[in-house]
Structure 1
């Protein structure tokens, strides 16, 4: 059985609006709201603004030595950068070796190196520019490696020296004073 129909005449409208089954009116759509973005900041931390890279992607020739090393043997530059980004938990040799093996067997070393670009961006709150990290490494791997190397250099690291030399240079351990004995 059908529910009885009734007719409603809205104010200012000549046509009736049927109500009841089978003419159930669809509810009016709510206006589209802007998406809500929630940022969770741990207590005691400060939210840093996103910063630009200190050098451009195509500024490779600003460090000619690194540009040449990266062009001829990118696994060396990658290993040096990875050791600093990982704060010494991986060595230059092991990271460079993995990069080299991936390059030899798959030609997709850019997928490995783009993860380190993402780590570097997260550590220093850098922009993802000029395009997503994997696209940068896929299209211009040597330039991306050189830019990462220069970024770490510009932030005070001597990348070629490795993590431990940089850690000692930046945080020297207090040494006990040398006691001199006078011999008579």
Structure 2
């Protein structure tokens, strides 16, 4: 995976955890599910295998860093392995949310809350 220096930014900021409250709650309550969804979306492994890998020390960080790098490559987002690793270590839950919201953007609600 090469460093992308002239790509775009993530569609959700790292601290934008509450942009999708469903993803935020899922990640807070069962982070292994979000982790599994992200590694499957990146093509690293199956969702269930990824969710189980979340419980294997060291391997989970290696798989996560590879997955985050692939997500960046697929979406053309600038960054490098060092930033990926630091983000995972220091902002794990936020990184899971950010990756998940990048791969599965929120669909507009079928019911409008606006009043006529």
In the alignment, structure 1 segments of 5+ residues that lack a partner are 1-48, 157-184
Q: Which has the higher helix share?
A: 2
| Residue among 77, 86, 94 paired with 1:126 | 77
Question: Following superposition of structure 1 onto structure 2, how do residues 32-111 of structure 1 map, counting pairs within 5 Å?
Answer: 50-86=7-43, 90-100=45-55, 102=56, 106=57, 109-111=60-62
Does structure 2 conserve the Cα–Cα contact (< 8 Å) formed by 1:54 and 1:154?
no
- Normalising by the residue count of structure 1, what TM-score does the alignment of the two structures yield? 0.49
- Aligned position for 1:117: 68
In structure 2, the gaps of 5 or more residues are: 1-5, 108-116
Correspondence for 2:91? 140
* Root-mean-square deviation over aligned CA pairs: 2.3
- Distance in 1 of aligned mates of 2:11 and 2:106: 9
Q: Give me the whole-angstrom Cα distance separating, in 2, the residues matched to 1:108 and 1:84.
A: 18
CA contact (8 A) 2:20 2:106 kept: no
The structure with the largest alpha-carbon Rg is 1
Residue 97 of structure 1, CA deviation: 0.8
Structure with more relative contact order (C-alpha pairs < 8 Å, separation 6 or more): 2
